[in-house]
Amino acid sequence: MMGFFVARTHPRADPLVQELTARGTHPMALRIFALFACAAALEAAAAARTGFRPMLHDAPATNQQTWVDALADFGCAGAVVACPMSGGFTSNPANLAVMGEFLARLREAGLSYWIYDEVGYPSGAAGGLALEGHPEMEAKGFYMRKFVALDESKTFDFRRECDADKIVYAAKYALKPNRSAMGEVDWNSCRPVDFSADAACATVGPDEVFYVFSVRSAYEGSHLVHNVFSRKRSINIMDPKAVRRFIDVAYEPIARALPEAYAHAGGVFTDEPSLQTCFAFRPEAMWNWALLPWKEGLFEDYAAAYGGERLERLLPVLFEGGFAVPEVCRTRVRYHELVGRLVAEAWAGQLSDWCRRHGTRFSGHYLFEEFLPYHVAMYGNLFTVLKAMDYPGVDALACTPETYDFRTGKYIQLAVRKKGTRGAMVEICPCNGLEQFKHDPVGNFRAVASEMFLSDIREVQSYCQPDFAAYRNGALAKEYPSDHGLLAPAYNGIFSLAQAREANGCIARLVSALGGLSPRCSVFVYVNVNEIQARYIPRNWGRPMFEPDACEREMIIAAERIYNSGHDFMFVDDEDIATAAHDAQAVIAGLPARVVAVPPSVVLSSATLRALGELQAKGVKVLFLGSLPQLGTDGEALPQALLARFSAVTVEAVDEAVRTADSGFVFSAPSGKVLHAEYALTDGERHYFVNKNRQPVMVTVEASIRPEGRFENLVTGVVGRWRHGEPLELPALGAAVLDFKTGR
């Protein structure tokens, strides 16, 4: 009975239960249904429309029904909607009333919605409300000042700089003799220097270095300034009190004024929050400091996390020094791992808990998810943060098949597996190469969406929007307030009515084909975040990090070779490797592992190296690309006896290993690049093909043990039969599925 009560009273259950009641379903059957209903099933049943959702942002104050009619006519699933941004955001009751009325109209029309949590972006400011009266909650970073005496003693009297909050540490170190004319710092020679919040003074002898560390706001030069929306300051997402303040001003007012708003929402969309300590986009601009993330109590947090070890004495190694030095490597990895955990707990974890208590899920996306160095610079460890949120998400900015980067979705897929969400969200936003995108908006949109579904994307939001301004003779032509910056209008009006319906129909067919399914593969590529953490040092300019170092570059090359050869793969982390090593069948994510490719690294966890050795002993092909690691994340040299079990290979060895790992299904596409993934069905298997080419491609399937199957063109929706020996024609810039029954 309790199961029936919960399902019957949950807002997402209402439409389905009412329909069953109207059909005369027996009350006992209703109870049975309710007992077995779960949130995921109710969501799937209630979501009758499965197209994309335009990013409307402001709930419109006028013509609300016309907006709803337009969304339905264009074939959209619904919309991503925010409380109106102007006039006080959530602090204005009139804004909340407008939002409530619009959400009610969407529900009445059978359209779904997600709630956007900010005034523009990045999330965390709530339009300025979050920091009103609470400047101490602003995003912070700490930076280093260095003073050297070489041939004679000097006295340095350092005073707090005008834009700094306070000094947090000062110390002297000795230089090692005979290393170079300058000398190398002896990190074990730390001698603390007395300091106050405003001053630190030290007499430095020959071959000594004096370091002072200060805290300041993380603002100028950050993503808070270099975006196309605003220049508002934001909270520190490592600080649980600051995040709680953001909840109080951005989330709670909606929940109080509109009690059912969140319970009916498909999710909450958070947009590109970050630590703000990494300078963004402007390599030609120099700043006075190179920042690392700071919060009050950081030193104590570090000591608690690492057995009482004090971070203070090794602060300089976070800013300088060769990463292969034991003290440097260990400290950097530990520091960035701690930052990742603090962000995961304070931001993603706290907001996810709040959303679940209010009947929805926390989602949205972060910043530069497709580049590992930014995982470290912006979040410490983005994978840790993603795994703490209810429903991972990503954005796609390069939205043509020629420019889309496969890592955009594949990195997120790792978090999807960990969370068991069977899906992730994408915001399709063609701001990189917008004019190229417009040459064939439907084809480009379709191609990118089809490829992203290879990476478990199942929910689509979009800035690539229908031409609302042309709807009903301009009834929805919209002028954006001045405080909206350049947000949204640049991407509006791309799809005509027919094009929007076509694009939404494609999304619906993709969801129908892959919704609820998880890919199966036997090839995995290890993501060595620790190597990136050990290498990372902050800069005082907006250094682009798009150019990967050797570790990431070789990993990308190997992964792309696997991917473009028509074989699916998954990224894996240390936890995956350890779990598989303890499994008798070497299973990763429920799938038997046959190949694990490891990028060239200097740094690798000793536990992961041992686990890889166990996998190799179980018959898994462990391929170290280019070179073997030398240093553990604890700073100790890796055991030579263990390293001797492996040998470095070239990337060509991956090709052969992948071919021998084939499941028995082989295809060829001589005239173009075709991507492929395999899924298990209850009564067979499904093969998903993505054609990235701008013309149809013929595929030959070499699967004699599967004499016939069902073939569906996901661009047109046309279904046909396939028989062995017949070629398959894959639609241009689109996807198709080929199904086989069990008992082949």
Cis preceding linkage at 27, omega within 30: no
Residue 272, CA distances (Å) to 116, 134, 376, 385 in order: 12, 22, 15, 12
- Is residue 410 within 8 A of residue 380, CB to CB? The reply is no
Q: Which of 527, 644, 522 is closest to 585 using CA atoms? A: 522
pLDDT at 179: 57
- Tokens standing for residue 668: 């060829």
- Is residue 525 within 8 A of residue 559, CB to CB? The reply is yes
Query: Once rounded to an integer, what is the mean pLDDT over residues 682-709?
Result: 88
Domain 523-660 has CATH 3.90.320: no
Comparing 419-428, 536-545, 708-717, which segment has the lowest mean pLDDT?
A: 536-545
d(Cα 170, Cα 187) in Å, to the nearest integer?
A: 14
The pLDDT-based confidence of 167 (bands split at 50, 70, 90) is: very high
- Is residue 150 within 8 A of residue 206, CB to CB? The reply is yes
- Is residue 427 within 8 A of residue 461, CB to CB? The reply is yes
Given the structure tokens 């899924």, which residue do they identify? 679
Q: Beta 140-149 vs 292-294: how paired, if at all?
A: antiparallel
In a 13 Å sphere around the CA of 208, the CA atoms on its Cβ side amount to: 19
Number of residues in the chain: 744
Q: Which of 197, 208, 190 is closest to 311 using CA atoms? A: 190
Q: Which residues contact 305 (CB under 8 A, 6 or more apart)?
A: 334, 338, 341
- Tokens standing for residue 159: 């005073």
Q: Is 75 left (phi over 0), alpha (psi -120 to 50) or beta?
A: left
Q: Could you tell me where in the chain the CATH 3.40.50 domains are found?
A: 523-660
d(Cα 721, Cα 475) in Å, to the nearest integer?
A: 46
460 vs 325 pLDDT, higher one:
460
- Is residue 206 within 8 A of residue 156, CB to CB? The reply is no
Q: Catalogue the E-assigned strands of 626-694.
A: 648-649, 666-668, 674-681, 684-691
Q: Could you tell me where in the chain the CATH 2.60.40.1180 domains are found?
A: 666-741
- Is residue 263 within 8 A of residue 358, CB to CB? The reply is yes
pLDDT at 662: 67
d(Cα 709, Cα 737) in Å, to the nearest integer?
A: 10
Given the structure tokens 């070499």, which residue do they identify? 702
Looking only at Cα atoms, what is the longest distance across the chain? 95
Q: Which residues contact 48 (CB under 8 A, 6 or more apart)?
A: 110
- Is residue 358 within 8 A of residue 389, CB to CB? The reply is no
pLDDT at 702: 78
Q: Which helix (H) or strand (E) holds 734?
A: strand 734-741
As a whole number, the mean pLDDT across the chain is 88
In a 13 Å sphere around the CA of 377, the CA atoms on its Cβ side amount to: 29
Q: What share of the chain has pLDDT > 90, as a percent?
A: 71
Pick the CATH number of 140-217 from 1.10.3470, 1.20.1530, 2.60.40, 2.40.10: 2.60.40
- Is residue 597 within 8 A of residue 558, CB to CB? The reply is yes
Q: Which of 293, 304, 319, 450 is closest to 379 using CA atoms? A: 293
Instruction: Answer yes or no: is pLDDT of 709 > 80.
Output: yes
Amino acid letter, residue 186: D
DSSP 312: G
The dihedral built from the CA positions of residue 81, 85, 88 and 94, taken in this order, carries a sign that is: negative
Residue 366, CA distances (Å) to 299, 416, 633 in order: 26, 15, 26
Q: Which residues contact 593 (CB under 8 A, 6 or more apart)?
A: 522, 524, 580, 586, 587, 615, 620
Q: Which of 533, 514, 83, 456 is closest to 265 using CA atoms? A: 83
pLDDT at 229: 80
- For 112-151, how does the pLDDT look when each residue is reduced to its tens digit (9 = 90+)? 999 999 998 999 999 999 999 999 999 999 999 999 988 8
Amino acid letter, residue 689: F
pLDDT at 181: 61
Instruction: Answer yes or no: is pLDDT of 35 > 50.
Output: no
d(Cα 557, Cα 552) in Å, to the nearest integer?
A: 9
pTM over 0.75: yes
Given the structure tokens 């070497």, which residue do they identify? 586
- For 627-665, how does the pLDDT look when each residue is reduced to its tens digit (9 = 90+)? 999 999 998 999 999 999 999 998 888 888 888 766 678
d(Cα 106, Cα 690) in Å, to the nearest integer?
A: 33
Pick the CATH number of 666-741 from 2.60.40.1180, 3.40.30.10, 2.40.50.100, 3.30.70.141: 2.60.40.1180
Q: Which helix (H) or strand (E) holds 141?
A: strand 140-149
473 vs 257 pLDDT, higher one:
257
Comparing 17-21, 80-84, 553-557, 725-729, which segment has the lowest mean pLDDT?
A: 17-21
- Tokens standing for residue 44: 């799937």
pLDDT at 589: 81
pLDDT at 87: 92
- Tokens standing for residue 16: 């389905």
